[in-house]
Amino acid sequence: MYDRGRPAPIPFERKLFDGVTYYRRVRLLPRAMVVHILKIDTKTEGIRFLVTPPDENWKEQEHPVKARKTSQFLDDFDLQIAVNGDGFFPWWSHGPLDYYPHEGDAVTPNGLTASSGQIYATGAQTDEIGEVPELFISRRGSLVFNDPPNNIFHAISGDRMLVVSGQPADGLDASELDPRTAIGLNRNGRWVYIVVIDGRQPFYSEGATFAELAEILIDFGAYNAMALDGGGSSTLVIEGDDGKPVVLNSPIDQYVPGRERPVANHLGIYVR
């Protein structure tokens, strides 16, 4: 049902691991939309988080990390779940022969990024749409938005807040359709919701607006949520029964369905 090729556009629900359930939701109106959701119980024994670490010699480099596909990130660190993270630079896409980054090219996340206590990107505090949102994950695995602790352990930034105190954030666009990635928390932070929506694939899934993405998160129980990088970056991966990466959604890069884009950072989850 989910392990090879483009996922069938039919609703689906399955427990993947202890404390982790996968939901596929399909909409036909007002347009085709395929939504992938992981609901994760952070109180489950053995669940730990990982933000992409920097390169070994990152302090001596212009850019601190090498771009890798989300499935490669999962494989490299023996994770059970991985999703793409923040936007990054440099980046361009002028065609199948003129794009950056390729796998292994040097890049920098747009916003604050930390892994296991190493802060390796600081980013801008604000951009053209306002304050840049940040998700902080403690050593013990508690998650909180926009409230940095004294000692940052893991941190990953996003594009914008989508849900604030149970309501859609102000000023969310309701017209532009794109593939989307988002992460949300319920009110007490126990439940994590990872949402990836496929897009740019006519008659299969055309994508979602930020306003629609917020409503999907709220419907699932998110009290606060932020958008991660979307478009061709949107990718959700799990470890399959054979230990190899399985892409749950239908990513699209260079307008090729199923093609993964190498990105700067990711959020990973250990379950076992």
Per DSSP, the residues of the chain read --SSSSPPSS-EEEEEETTEEEEEEEE-SSS-EEEEEEEEETTSTT-EEEEPPPPTTGGGSSSSEE-B-HHHHHHHTT-SEEEE---EES-EEEETTEEEPPTT-EEEESS-EEETTEEEE---SEETTEEPPEEEE-TT--EEES---SS--EEEE-SEEEEETTEEPTT--SS--B-EEEEEE-TTS-EEEEEEE--SBTTTB--B-HHHHHHHHHHHT-SEEEE---GGG--EEEE-TTSSEEE-S--EETTEETPPPPBS-EEEEE--
pLDDT of residue 110: 97
| pLDDT per residue as tens digits for the range 213-270 | 999 999 999 999 999 999 999 999 999 999 999 999 999 999 999 999 999 999 999 9
Q: Give per-residue pLDDT as tens, 174-210.
A: 999 999 999 999 999 999 999 999 999 999 999 999 9
pLDDT of 3 > 50? The answer is no
How far apart, in whole angstroms, are the C-alpha atoms of residue 109 and residue 46?
Answer: 28
Q: Is the model's pLDDT at 2 over the cut of 80? A: no
Write down the pLDDT at residue 87. 97
**pLDDT at residue 130 greater than cutoff 80:** no
| Residue 106 to residue 31: CA distance in whole angstroms | 38
Residues 52, 269, 140, 125, CA torsion sign = positive
Per residue in 68-107, pLDDT (tens digit) is 999 999 999 999 999 999 999 999 999 889 999 999 999 9
Q: What is the pLDDT of residue 125?
A: 67
Task: Specify whether the CB–CB gap between 101 and 254 falls below 8 A.
Answer: no
Model's pTM, two decimal places?
0.96
For the stretch 13-24, pLDDT in tens is 999 999 999 999
pLDDT band at 131 (very low <50, low <70, confident <90, very high): confident
Q: What pLDDT score does 113 carry?
A: 98
Average pLDDT, the chain: 95
> What residue ranges do the domains of the chain occupy?
12-270
